Amino acid sequence: MKRTNPPSVEPANPVREISGSESAEESQGSASPEEFSAQSTEPQSAAIQAEVTEKHAAAAPTAVAAEIVIPPILLEGDEPAHPTGAVSPENPATQVETNSTPELPESYGTGRLLLAARDPECVYAHWDLNRQERQKAEDSGGGALSLRIHQDSLSGPVVSEEQFPIGRSHSFVSVAAASGPIVAQLGYYSPEGLWTPVASSDTVEHAAAPAPQPGVVEFATLEFPLTGTSTPGASPAMDQLIANPLTAEAAPAHSSTKPGTEITTALAPEFPLVRTAPAAPELPAEAFADPVVFEADLEEAQLPLPGPGETRPIVETPWTPDREQMLSQLITRSVLRHKRIGSAEFDALLKAESNWAGLLPSAEVSSHAGPQPAAAPGFWLNINAEVVVYGATEPDSVLRIAGQTLPLGPDGSFSFRFALPDGSYSLPVEAVSKHGDVRRAELQFHRGTRYSGQVGVHPQNPRLSVPGSGNPLQA
Amino acid sequence: MQGYLSLILHAHLPFVRHPEHDRFLEETWLFEAMTETYIPLLQMLDGWANDGMFAPITITLTPTLCTMLSDSLLMTRYRRHLEKLIELADKETHRTLFEKPLHDLASFYLERFRWVRAKYDAWQGDLLAVFRRLHQERRVELITSAATHALLPLLANHPPSLRAQILVARDHFTRCFGSQPEGIWLPECAYVPAIEPVLREANIRWFVLDTHGILNANPKPRYGMFSPIISPGGVAVFGRDLDSASQVWSRDEGYPGDPRYRDFYRDIGFDLELEYLKPFQAATGQRGFSGIKYHRITGPGTTKAPYDRPSAVKAADDHASHFLQARMAQFRGLSSILDRPPIVTCPYDAELFGHWWYEGIEFLNFFVRKAYFDQNVFELITPAQFLRKFPTHQVASPAASSWGESGYWRVWLNEQNQWVYPHLRIAQERMSELAKRYARPKSHDGSASLESRAMRQAGRELLLAQASDWPFILRTGTSPDYAKKRVTDHVLRFTRIYEQLQSGQIDLAWLEQVEAQDNVFPELDCGYFG
């Protein structure tokens, strides 16, 4: 909904970049609901001030004979008496009730852990512990709670773990290393290092966009109800939605479908379907080799538009690698044009013969974005690596990583991601307290990769820098 | 003809209705949209019909918007709002008598508002009837959206809430327009696979996703976003076109930022004396937008030049021509590559045209007329019409996505608004508990029992609390106090009803008061929450 926000801030535009302040706000700091204000706020304007001044002046006793009071508006020029936006229309005063309104409860005492996927790199966790549970954790857990994110189930590998002070009740947790279902467990470590669970979440699907798979392209034909209406509450059987369910041989395992072939593959276990690739027009064999001839033939083969109520199968010709490449480049250029990336990056991505897969959302390149090798026939593997550097210091300290001053969360925590291509890297980290005390650490990383067979580089967020250079991304 | 263009306008407003106040500022959201978007839009569509054009477009009318457009209290207030607007514009013509540019504009506004009133009266205040007629004539394909525009992926862990949002919307649409919707606008184009079973149950045949929802589909969609895919559940999915979106939406390169267009913020509601404006304010003592604006965007900086209406309309015409040429070039390029007619899907918020971008309706009108009369490269079509003409498409699983910032749910789940969700989670589970316990309670004479009434109201309160508008407003910071109050009020009302049902002591007088205030979905089927 954008009712109170004009499109100049592009609420629906995927090309909008994330500002530094937006990244910083997703820190680990707690933020309990602000106190509900019963008083609406009204920005003061020069016009209002003038009005108030005038009233005060009118009310003040004076020994001077009454003067003619000229309304201020008649003394103003054509331009307003204040700069644009002095009475900020961006935040028009809200009419809220001035009598007090009950607040929502701070806790329901359920002892439950809520987990919600937010995007491919982050989940939201909220825990609703009562005072007893918090006290127990305080006494036994050294004043800190830990949240573990597991892959698939509680017995699956831990893909992320973070610690919080007892007073916290929620966090946004990085799950960049996860894929598929995830589940969280809240608990604490005893002084002996033993894990004591407090609450577990439901399993949620990670919001990661799966890397599109090459392979069989299948088609299906929809069928609409003839009447165009149906009884509310009645769900049509799936075979009414997709025409003529039949059983036939499985589709050939190649990337294009031969025209005129009937193939059947169940889309969902209970709904057998027929997918039919419509027959191609009769074109000479050489038409498929020469794109220019192909285009001319296409124009000749172009059918007039179907009339009202008339359906017509799409006349298809074989989908060639040339067409695929051309469309891929067209879409990639469109996507990159809206990413506002630098020209060098643009050229590099184009030269990598990238297809568009995983390039979006274009506002913030996802971890799957970037160049992908053209799909090779047969079995394939893509691989890549990142490193996450995280920690905490006193909230009023200054943190520098590789000489760059970086933001801390309200509780002093930090977490940053770096790309990790093959090579050796050194990452100096320095924290300086407000009193000038300095603490340093130097992390050394090395990656070496041996490849065997068709192995490509998995797309990675191009904004990631290697350790020791560039601005790291907040994890 | 080389392809098809699908223009989709998503018209939505959150349910804002405050009978407890004589005037309420946030109700002006509806009044402004009616004056500047919906009525001019309907007039434009009628104009096409009168000129013999068959240029079908798709319009979402969300259930909450439909509810408000048919609410007698709100429509009475809108009529009052129009009268006040005309009166203010008339005063302005006198105030600016000796200031030529402003006086011309004041006269323009006076004429404009009188015209809006005349159209509204000619339609007897029933905009839904006009939309219904256009839908039945197939000049417009009307589609629905979630009941209260909830962000469905954030309800995915509570399937009954997903069902309620979609099936209540379907039922409401059927009552308003006499047939089931074939398409749905997923709020914010937000999608996860868990939504699909409910779409199938609702007999929804198509929806739209942002570009990456299609491009990241599995397997890779052969035709990119230029042809719909069919999900494994049998629902067709169209992908938003990037180029046409950017030319209209982009802050930097989009048409609405042209310096000749009217500046949205320089409104006399903030420029003139409070005392002068008092009789016309939407709420006592509250400054707000009046709809009368005298300045154009001009350019960077705070100095704004007077709005030149003819120049702005000319700009809209120029941009419509540019947009047309760009689309024609796009189709020529696509048709040389694709082996089937491409479809370019162009969804926008309806309120962009006329409200945020004052000349937007003129732009639409110019573009569609030029597209209809001045070229034969592409044709306008609705998604349902396209699927009927070309029913065979690639099967692929769409990717989780939204058209919000960053492409997922960050806008609706971040540090400013995360506090909402634990309360919603508890309320949702309690609603399911109620739905199971009080399945279709009846009194001895077969009429709806008091428990049934209370349960329905609990369902309404929950649906209203689930609206994505509130976390959105909390994120943007435009009216955060109001958004917070709305969530608080609805959750507390729900909780009170829940507790009264648990105790068996329902406060009838209070229930009647709440029913009268939050009066959405009178025939709500609470079984959806079970």
This complex has an ipTM of 0.92
Phi, psi of B151 (to 5 degrees): -80, 100
Given A89, A202, A364, which is nearest B157 (Cβ)? A202
How far apart (Å, rounded) are the C-alpha atoms in residues B357 and A315? Answer: 41
Query: Average pLDDT in the A392-408 region?
Result: 90
Residue of B nearest to A116 (CA): B154
**B residues 233..262 contacting A (CB < 8 A):** 233-234, 236, 242-243, 245-246, 249-251, 254, 256-257
Cα-based distances in Å from B38 to B29, B35, B128, B287, B328: 12, 7, 10, 24, 28
**Residue B16 pLDDT:** 96
- Provide the token pair at B204: 């929804």
Q: Which long-range contacts (CB under 8 A, 24 or more apart) does A18-24 make?
A: A18/A363, A18/A364, A18/B405, A18/B406, A20/A407, A23/A473, A23/A474, A24/A407, A24/A474
Residue of B nearest to A324 (CA): B222
**Is the fold of B3-68+127-262+307-406 the same as that of B413-529?**
no
Query: Average pLDDT in the B214-240 region?
Result: 95
Interface test with A, best of B4, B378, B389 (most A CBs within 10 A): B389
**A260-264, A310-314, B255-259, range with the lowest pLDDT:** A260-264
Residue of A nearest to B486 (CA): A96
**Residue A178 pLDDT:** 78
Residue of B nearest to A359 (CA): B212
- What is the signed CA dihedral for B74, B78, B79, B81, rounded to 10 degrees? 140
Cα-based distances in Å from A104 to B145, B384, B426, B480: 29, 44, 12, 16
Answer yes or no: is pLDDT of A126 > 60: yes
Answer yes or no: is pLDDT of B172 > 50: yes
Name the residue with tokens 């003067």.
A67
Min Cα separation B314/chain A (Å): 21
Given B205, B245, B425, which is nearest A13 (Cβ)? B245
The residue with greater pLDDT, A189 or A93, is A189
Residue A248's pLDDT band (cuts 50, 70, 90): very low
Residues of chain A found within 8 Å of residue B14, distances taken between Cβ atoms: 1, 3
**Residue A251 pLDDT:** 28
Domains of chain A: 113-205 (2.60.40.10), 381-474 (2.60.40)
Residues of chain B found within 8 Å of residue A357, distances taken between Cβ atoms: 215-216, 220
Given B401, B418, B489, which is nearest A124 (Cβ)? B418
Query: Average pLDDT in the A92-115 region?
Result: 74
End-to-end CA, chain A? 28
Cα-based distances in Å from B391 to A264, A268, B236, B387, B488: 17, 19, 9, 5, 46
**B residues 81..140 contacting A (CB < 8 A):** 99, 102
Interface membership of B476 toward A (CB under 8 Å): yes
Answer yes or no: is pLDDT of A397 > 80: yes
**Residue B420 pLDDT:** 97
Global pTM value? 0.74
The residue with greater pLDDT, B107 or A267, is B107
Query: Average pLDDT in the A129-152 region?
Result: 86
Given A7, A72, A275, which is nearest B249 (Cβ)? A7
Chain-chain contact of B216 with A210 (C-beta, under 8 angstroms): yes
**H helices, E strands: number in chain A:** 8, 20
End-to-end CA, chain B? 50
Query: Average pLDDT in the A428-433 region?
Result: 93
Residues 6+ apart with CB under 8 A from B471: B151, B411, B412, B413, B416, B417, B420, B483
Residues of chain B found within 8 Å of residue A326, distances taken between Cβ atoms: 337
Identity of the highest mean pLDDT range in A279-283, B250-254, B434-438 = B434-438
**Would you kindly state where each structural domain of chain B is located, as residue ranges?**
3-68+127-262+307-406, 413-529
Sign of CA dihedral B420, B423, B429, B435: negative
User: Identity (one letter) of the amino acid at A409?
Assistant: G
Answer yes or no: is pLDDT of B472 > 90: yes
**Residue B284 pLDDT:** 67
Chain-chain contact of A12 with B14 (C-beta, under 8 angstroms): no
Residue B116's pLDDT band (cuts 50, 70, 90): very high
Strands A423-432 and A398-401, bridge-based pairing: antiparallel
| Beta carbons of B518 and B461 less than 8 angstroms apart | yes
Answer yes or no: is pLDDT of A160 > 70: yes
**Residue A79 pLDDT:** 47
| Beta carbons of A390 and A411 less than 8 angstroms apart | no
Query: Average pLDDT in the B241-263 region?
Result: 88
Residues of chain B found within 8 Å of residue A16, distances taken between Cβ atoms: 251, 405
Chain-chain contact of B25 with A93 (C-beta, under 8 angstroms): yes
- Provide the token pair at A118: 């937010």
Min Cα separation A176/chain B (Å): 14
Residues 6+ apart with CB under 8 A from B204: B166, B170, B181, B182, B183, B184, B235
Chain-chain contact of A358 with B394 (C-beta, under 8 angstroms): no
Query: Average pLDDT in the B312-335 region?
Result: 96
Residue of B nearest to A1 (CA): B469
**Residue B316 pLDDT:** 97
Chain-chain contact of B212 with A224 (C-beta, under 8 angstroms): no
The residue with greater pLDDT, B254 or B30, is B30
- Considering chain B, what percentage of its residues have pLDDT values greater than 90? 87
How far apart (Å, rounded) are the C-alpha atoms in residues B61 and B8? Answer: 11
**A18-27, A203-212, B155-164, B356-365, range with the lowest pLDDT:** A18-27
How far apart (Å, rounded) are the C-alpha atoms in residues B205 and B183? Answer: 6
In the three-class reduction of DSSP (H, G, I as helix; E, B as strand; rest coil), residue A165 is classed as: strand
Query: Average pLDDT in the A287-301 region?
Result: 29
Residue of B nearest to A24 (CA): B415
Given A213, A317, A334, which is nearest B339 (Cβ)? A317
Chain-chain contact of A114 with B421 (C-beta, under 8 angstroms): yes
Chain-chain contact of B409 with A204 (C-beta, under 8 angstroms): no
Query: Average pLDDT in the B401-418 region?
Result: 93
Min Cα separation A300/chain B (Å): 12
**Residue B454 pLDDT:** 96
Name the residue with tokens 């309160």.
B461
Chain-chain contact of B174 with A232 (C-beta, under 8 angstroms): yes
Residue A132's pLDDT band (cuts 50, 70, 90): confident
Interface test with B, best of A95, A169, A473 (most B CBs within 10 A): A95
Residue A457's pLDDT band (cuts 50, 70, 90): low
Residue A77's pLDDT band (cuts 50, 70, 90): low
Given A232, A313, A324, which is nearest B170 (Cβ)? A232
Mean confidence (pLDDT) of chain A: 62
Chain-chain contact of A4 with B246 (C-beta, under 8 angstroms): no
The third-level CATH classification (topology) of the domain covering B3-68+127-262+307-406 is 7-stranded beta/alpha barrel (3.20.110)
Chain-chain contact of B218 with A47 (C-beta, under 8 angstroms): no
**Residue A460 pLDDT:** 63
Cβ-based contacts under 8 A for chains A and B: 404
Mean confidence (pLDDT) of chain B: 94
Chain-chain contact of A47 with B489 (C-beta, under 8 angstroms): no
Answer yes or no: is pLDDT of A371 > 90: no
Chain-chain contact of B394 with A83 (C-beta, under 8 angstroms): no
Interface membership of B359 toward A (CB under 8 Å): no
- Considering chain A, what percentage of its residues have pLDDT values greater than 70? 45
Chain-chain contact of A271 with B234 (C-beta, under 8 angstroms): yes
The third-level CATH classification (topology) of the domain covering B413-529 is immunoglobulin/albumin-binding domain-like (1.20.1430)
Chain-chain contact of A311 with B467 (C-beta, under 8 angstroms): no
- Burial A219-252, CB ≥16 within 10 A → b, else e: bbbbbbeeeeeeeeeeebebbebbbeeeeeeebe
Answer yes or no: is pLDDT of A187 > 50: yes
Given B1, B232, B357, which is nearest A268 (Cβ)? B232
Residue A76's pLDDT band (cuts 50, 70, 90): low
